[in-house]
């Protein structure tokens, strides 16, 4: 659904609902979180809904998942959800072992709305992945075994130039494998909340590839560099609101804005692979 990228370009105001789903053979568990978006006004006074041919006041929805490529379980659940219409947008983790599977799916489904979940950590205990760039090009990003770090220590030095090298390597690998990304976001918010240098790297790379990124306005108080770096053409999400993990709770949200976007369901079949 390529028009989802248009939504990110010039929505005036929207409601985003973040939900997480773990699928098993018998159960679907949904965890809902919502975000209220406030986007800088577009140059035209016409709303996006009107530009797409909808009547004024029409609410448009994007359902977005991340972590695709991490495991086969995630891929299988996400593709099933895409085919069923449960989600219509997702982002892929290029360094992960199961990225080739989801990249092949993306290549064979060119109309699917796939972004890249830029990844700089490998947080699982035994199921690990390394960088896409050569190890000698990104030494500050990897541990002694050549994997991306489980976590970043508070005073750990991460070289911004090496981060940029790795981000470009991830995007270029995705492109080489047939993925045509529609947006960028950051695994574990590492590129958003670690400091101005890394956020500026992400923003610069996103601008170069002409891709939108996800950033929310209510982070500005704790991370003032975000607002300093963003320009008038960048997307800015506003307030976060948590909804109880009940599907019916979504119906209780008053959607009073022009567009609705359901963002970031965590999909995965609940099996032994997913829990490793």
Strand pairing class (28-38; 114-118)? unpaired
- Helix (H) / strand (E) element for 260: namely strand 259-263
Q: Maximum CA pair distance of the chain?
A: 58
- Distance between first and last Cα of the chain: 32
Q: Mind listing the pLDDT tens digit for each residue in 113-161?
A: 999 999 999 999 999 999 999 999 999 999 999 999 999 987 788 999 9
Q: Which pLDDT band, with edges at 50, 70 and 90, does 37 fall under? A: very low
Q: Which fold has domain 3-263?
A: TIM Barrel (3.20.20)
Question: Is 225 within 8 Å of 191 (Cβ atoms)?
Answer: no
**Per-residue pLDDT, 46:** 59
pTM for the structure as a whole: 0.75
**Per-residue pLDDT, 39:** 40
Break the chain into its structural domains and give their ranges: 3-263
């Amino acid at each position: 659904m390529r028009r989802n990228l248009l939504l990110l370009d010039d929505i005036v105001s929207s409601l985003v609902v973040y939900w997480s789903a773990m699928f098993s053979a018998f159960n679907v568990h949904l965890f809902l979180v919502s975000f209220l978006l406030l986007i800088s006004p577009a140059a035209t006074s016409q709303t996006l809904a009107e530009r797409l041919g909808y009547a004024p006041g029409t609410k448009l929805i994007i359902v977005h998942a991340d972590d695709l490529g991490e495991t086969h379980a995630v891929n299988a659940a996400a593709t099933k959800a895409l085919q069923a219409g449960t989600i219509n947008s997702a982002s892929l983790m290029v360094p992960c072992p199961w990225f080739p599977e989801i990249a092949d799916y993306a290549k064979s489904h060119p109309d699917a709305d796939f972004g890249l979940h830029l990844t700089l950590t490998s947080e699982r205990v035994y199921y690990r992945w390394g960088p896409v760039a050569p190890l000698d090009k990104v030494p500050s990003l990897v541990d002694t075994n050549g994997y991306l770090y489980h976590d970043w220590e508070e005073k750990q030095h991460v070289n911004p130039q090496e981060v940029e090298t790795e981000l470009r390597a991830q995007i270029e690998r995705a492109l080489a494998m047939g993925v045509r990304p529609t947006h960028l976001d950051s695994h574990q918010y590492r590129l958003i909340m670690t400091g101005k240098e890394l956020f500026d790297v992400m923003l610069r790379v996103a601008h170069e590839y002409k891709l939108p990124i996800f950033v929310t306005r209510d982070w500005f108080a704790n991370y003032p560099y975000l607002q300093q770096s963003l320009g008038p053409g960048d997307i800015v999400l506003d307030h976060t609101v948590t909804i109880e993990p009940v599907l019916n709770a979504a119906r209780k949200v008053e959607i009073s804005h022009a567009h609705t976007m359901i963002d970031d369901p965590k999909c995965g079949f609940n099996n032994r692979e997913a829990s490793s």
